[in-house]
Amino acid sequence: MLKEYESGQAPDGQPFRLVTLGNDQGFQVILMDWGATWLSCQVPLLAGGTREVLLGCPTPMDYLRQNAYLGATVGRYANRIRGATLSHDGKRFTLAANQGEHQLHGGPEGFHNRRWQQVEQDQTSVLYRLHSADGDQGYPGNLVADVRYTVTEDNALQIDYHATVDKPCPVNLTNHGYFHLDGANSDIRQQRLQIMANQYLPVDSEGIPCADPTDVDNTGMDFRQPKTIAADFLRDRDQQRMKGYDHGYLLYPGLSSAEEPAARLWSADGEVQMEVFTTAPALQLYTGNFLAGTPARQGGEYLNYSGVALESEFLPDSPHHPEWPQPACWLKPTEAYASQTRYRFLAL
Ligand code: BGC
């Protein structure tokens, strides 16, 4: 099956199309139309030179050989939907399951695994578009998704998501970039992290929510003050079930304007800081607990815990939990889905 792609062509027989965006400070990112994927992120350092802070594969072809969703745009619905079913207005929809009986990240042929159309491009911005047909991965209605990546003057990559539907459908678009601010193929648990959230979502051993959003007080899940990821690693039963952090955090409600950071991450050597700004209600913290075996940019394979993902989204399995304190995840034909996330990098 993989052999026919050896020539460097994507599964649709066409070449991968890559785009480089940058600013005058030397901040530079590379994107690819397959999966509307973020491939590379070079951050200028104070001492001179740049540092690659995003996990990536050696070649576009290698992205087809991994299941960590490295840098990909994830949809229609990021994270898990229990039992791969939806119900709305008395109708029931069966989704394509790809994690046991559940659906993860939009199904086996989710948006990460599709050719996006490159609609516009200039030196700082690229716009990708995807038409997803009625019934795609089991979802109701036709959907048009736009993802615009923009490099800003303050060394951020801004990601703007937009989607419309012609039948009600839950929509939850995110980027699945993994960061390693020390730029190495090594453990990220010495990096410090802060997440502006009072509550997280407990999950069972399949990653399915098993309780309502729960206070982080007096648990290892609390990142309100910066601490290393290692500090309370595997302290809680919640983490033990998932081999580490793999949990949705409900962000402080006032953050949805994206003016204040929702999370901060510091490299272990203290030279790089990342700030995440988002209009989404939640962030999934995933510490790369199952990254082992993923083809690594520098050659060889990544190990577990060699990257950390901070995915802006609705809480996992939200279609089954309209009672949770966040906006509705069902998009109506009369509305537009819009979500913005900025990953900003500072040299220290
Ligand atoms: C999920 C993990 C999953 C990973 C890669 C993350 O967003 O929360 O449970 O293993 O994606 O699929």
Share of the chain above pLDDT 70, in %: 98
80 is annotated as contributing to ligand binding: yes
The CATH number that applies at residue 139 is 2.70.98.10
Ligand 1 geometric centre to CA of 172 (Å): 15
The answer as to whether 287 is a domain residue is yes
Angle at 100 (CA atoms; ends 94, 101), nearest 5 degrees: 30
Q: Nearest residue CA, atom 12 of ligand 1?
A: 68
CA–CA dist 195, 286 (Å, integer):
13
| Ligand 1 neighbours (beta carbon < 6 A) | 68-69, 207, 246, 284, 286, 290, 311
- The ligand 1 atom at the shortest distance from the C-alpha of residue 176 is 7
pTM above 0.85, yes or no: yes
Averaged over 312-327, what is the pLDDT? 98
Q: Is the pLDDT of residue 5 over 90?
A: no
Ligand 1 geometric centre to CA of 315 (Å): 13
Ligand 1 geometric centre to CA of 290 (Å): 8
- The token duo for 153 is 């003057």
Mutate to test the pocket of ligand 1, among 99, 104, 302, 318 (most ligand atoms within 8 A of CB): 104
Residue 178 and residue 309 in contact, taking contact as beta carbons nearer than 8 Å: yes
- The token duo for 113 is 């695994």
79 is annotated as contributing to ligand binding: yes
Mutate to test the pocket of ligand 1, among 98, 201, 246 (most ligand atoms within 8 A of CB): 246
**What is the C-alpha R_g of the chain?**
19
Q: Nearest residue CA, atom 5 of ligand 1?
A: 68
The answer as to whether 178 is a domain residue is yes
CA–CA dist 321, 227 (Å, integer):
31
Averaged over 212-225, what is the pLDDT? 98
The answer as to whether 13 is a domain residue is no
161-199 tens-digit pLDDT: 999 999 999 999 999 999 999 998 789 999 999 999 999
Q: What region, left, alpha or beta, does residue 138 occupy, with left being phi > 0 and alpha being psi -120 to 50 degrees? A: left
pLDDT at 29: 98
Q: What region, left, alpha or beta, does residue 151 occupy, with left being phi > 0 and alpha being psi -120 to 50 degrees? A: beta
Q: Find the catalytic residue in 176, 247, 271, 275.
A: 176
CA–CA dist 39, 63 (Å, integer):
10
Split into its structural domains, the chain has a count of 1
Ligand 1 geometric centre to CA of 286 (Å): 7
Q: Nearest residue CA, atom 7 of ligand 1?
A: 79
Q: Nearest residue CA, atom 8 of ligand 1?
A: 246
The answer as to whether 6 is a domain residue is no
246 is annotated as contributing to ligand binding: yes
Residue 299 structural domain: 18-347
Ligand 1 geometric centre to CA of 288 (Å): 8
Q: How confident is the model at residue 320 (pLDDT cuts 50, 70, 90)?
A: very high
Amino acid identity for residue 172 in this structure: N
Q: Nearest residue CA, atom 6 of ligand 1?
A: 286
Of 209, 90, 92, nearest to 139 by C-alpha is 92
The answer as to whether 7 is a domain residue is no
300 is annotated as contributing to ligand binding: no
Average pLDDT over the chain reads 96
Residue 176 falls in the annotated catalytic set: yes
Q: How many other CB atoms are found less than 10 A from the CB of residue 138?
A: 17
Task: Find the helix or strand (DSSP H, E) in which 91 lies.
Answer: strand 91-94
The answer as to whether 341 is a domain residue is yes
Q: How confident is the model at residue 2 (pLDDT cuts 50, 70, 90)?
A: very low
223-241 tens-digit pLDDT: 999 999 999 999 999 999 9
Q: Nearest residue CA, atom 9 of ligand 1?
A: 246
Q: Nearest residue CA, atom 11 of ligand 1?
A: 68
Ligand 1 geometric centre to CA of 121 (Å): 30
Tell me whether residue 343 is exposed, middle or buried, using C-beta atoms within 10 angstroms of its C-beta: 0 to 12, 13 to 18, 19 or more: buried
pLDDT at 292: 97
The answer as to whether 9 is a domain residue is no
CA–CA dist 67, 72 (Å, integer):
11
CA–CA dist 72, 149 (Å, integer):
12
Residue 250 and residue 204 in contact, taking contact as beta carbons nearer than 8 Å: no
Residue 53 and residue 183 in contact, taking contact as beta carbons nearer than 8 Å: yes
Tell me whether residue 83 is exposed, middle or buried, using C-beta atoms within 10 angstroms of its C-beta: 0 to 12, 13 to 18, 19 or more: middle
CA–CA dist 340, 342 (Å, integer):
7
pLDDT at 232: 98
Of 88, 136, 41, 70, nearest to 343 by C-alpha is 41
CA–CA dist 96, 106 (Å, integer):
8
Cis check: omega of the bond before 148, within 30 degrees of 0: no
Q: Is the pLDDT of residue 1 over 50?
A: no
Q: Phi then psi for 62, rounded to 5 degrees?
A: -65, -20
- The token duo for 284 is 């999934």
- The ligand 1 atom at the shortest distance from the C-alpha of residue 67 is 12
Residue 101 falls in the annotated catalytic set: no
CA–CA dist 333, 258 (Å, integer):
26
CA–CA dist 231, 192 (Å, integer):
9
The answer as to whether 302 is a domain residue is yes
Locus of tokens 């962030």:
283
How far, in Å, are 21, 95, 130 from residue 103 at the CA level?
A: 33, 7, 20
Ligand 1 geometric centre to CA of 42 (Å): 24
Q: Find the catalytic residue in 105, 247, 271, 311.
A: 311
